[in-house]
Homo-oligomer: A and B are copies of this chain.
Amino acid sequence: MSELADYLKSKRQVVDRVLDANLPPAETPPNVIHEAMRYAVLGGGKRIRPIVAIAAAEACGANVDELLVPIAALELIHTYSLVHDDLPALDDDDLRRGQKTTHVVFGEAMGILTGDALLTEAFAWLAKPIAAVDAAHQLRAIREVAVAVDSQGMIGGQVADIIATGTDESTPELLDFIHRNKTSKLLTASVVLGGLLANASDEKIEALRKYGSAIGLAFQIVDDLLDQEEDAATLGKTAGKDVAQGKLTYPALFGTDAARAKVESLLGEALRNAAIIAGPVNYLPGIARFICERRS
């Protein structure tokens, strides 16, 4: 296994442990909501957002051990968005990460409340006092994350996606709006959060922001490309469904070749900015390559 693959695997395990240890135990009353939260979060996932936050914090010289709770909160937010997007009133998905979606197992009411609970828990974790972190920096990190996923961020992207689905208004501007908001902003905020919790300089924070924005958009385009190519068995979700539903995707609008070229260009942008951080431990370039070249 490559050094990067080792790194990703070990950090994924660290994040999984932090999530498991900090989510309320399944027997906490009322049990069902805690069972559902743990089911939704602990059922797998690449943990990309916490991992880029860890990599950013490490590249800025931080010891991440104390920072893991707010960093793991990023995964709670990502999972809440998946749980709500999968609901019958939204994408109506029955499978996610190869297992039944939360509302299929626990019912629709509990699907809604589980998403709510994960989003709320995330902010409780983000606001947990950390001795090594300046409180003003931590406040900035909370605000950064909240703004990334608000109605002008991730939720706005989801709304635009719903509006665009099945309409004829498939413009490049709309597609860009959806991708930037639905995926890129939270990934960007994750990278920036790592820098803020590491007390990085404003110059480094800005480089992290550009790096995050590039890998965030690339991540979504690669997702679209994979969805187009893969079958349900490999991907663990109902593949080709975006196309069937008339969802706006990068390859659908520009063609596969242009989508691949865009990913290449974003990778260059990410690598240039990762070089600005220049810490002794810097997995940001490797992660950018991994995101752009992944096959699942």
Distance to closest chain B CB from A106 (angstroms): 10
Residues of B within 8 A of A158 (CB): 113
Docked pose: A112 CA to B116 CA in angstroms: 10
Instruction: Find the B residue at minimum CB distance from A125.
Output: B146
Distance to closest chain B CB from A263 (angstroms): 26
Residue A89 lies at the interface, judged by CB distance under 8 Å to chain B: yes
Number of copies: 2
Residues of B within 8 A of A28 (CB): 151-152
When the two chains form their complex, are residues A156 and B30 in contact, meaning their CB atoms are under 8 A apart? yes
Q: What size tier do the contact residues of chain A reach?
A: 35 or more
Residue A150 lies at the interface, judged by CB distance under 8 Å to chain B: yes
Instruction: Find the B residue at minimum CB distance from A141.
Output: B127
When the two chains form their complex, are residues A155 and B123 in contact, meaning their CB atoms are under 8 A apart? no
Residue A128 lies at the interface, judged by CB distance under 8 Å to chain B: yes
Residue A119 lies at the interface, judged by CB distance under 8 Å to chain B: yes
Docked pose: A255 CA to B108 CA in angstroms: 34
When the two chains form their complex, are residues A155 and B33 in contact, meaning their CB atoms are under 8 A apart? yes
When the two chains form their complex, are residues A87 and B112 in contact, meaning their CB atoms are under 8 A apart? yes
Residue A177 lies at the interface, judged by CB distance under 8 Å to chain B: yes
Distance to closest chain B CB from A8 (angstroms): 29
Docked pose: A146 CA to B84 CA in angstroms: 19
Residue A235 lies at the interface, judged by CB distance under 8 Å to chain B: no
When the two chains form their complex, are residues B139 and A112 in contact, meaning their CB atoms are under 8 A apart? no
Residue A232 lies at the interface, judged by CB distance under 8 Å to chain B: no
Instruction: Find the B residue at minimum CB distance from A111.
Output: B89
Distance to closest chain B CB from A151 (angstroms): 4
Contact with B along A155-197 (1 / 0, CB 8 A): 1101110110000000000000100000000000000000000
When the two chains form their complex, are residues A127 and B112 in contact, meaning their CB atoms are under 8 A apart? no
When the two chains form their complex, are residues B89 and A162 in contact, meaning their CB atoms are under 8 A apart? no
Residue A50 lies at the interface, judged by CB distance under 8 Å to chain B: no
Docked pose: A80 CA to B119 CA in angstroms: 12
Q: Knowing A120-B151, A124-B146, A151-B120 touch, does A156 contact B33 (C-beta < 8 A)?
A: yes
Which 8 residue pairs across A and B have the least CB separation, nearest first? Answer: A135-B135, A124-B146, A89-B108, A117-B151, A127-B143, A127-B142, A135-B136, A123-B146
Report A's interface with B, CB cutoff 8 A. 24, 28-30, 32-34, 37, 80, 84, 87, 89-90, 107-113, 115-117, 119-121, 123-124, 126-129, 134-136, 138-140, 142-143, 146-147, 149-152, 155-156, 158-160, 162-163, 177
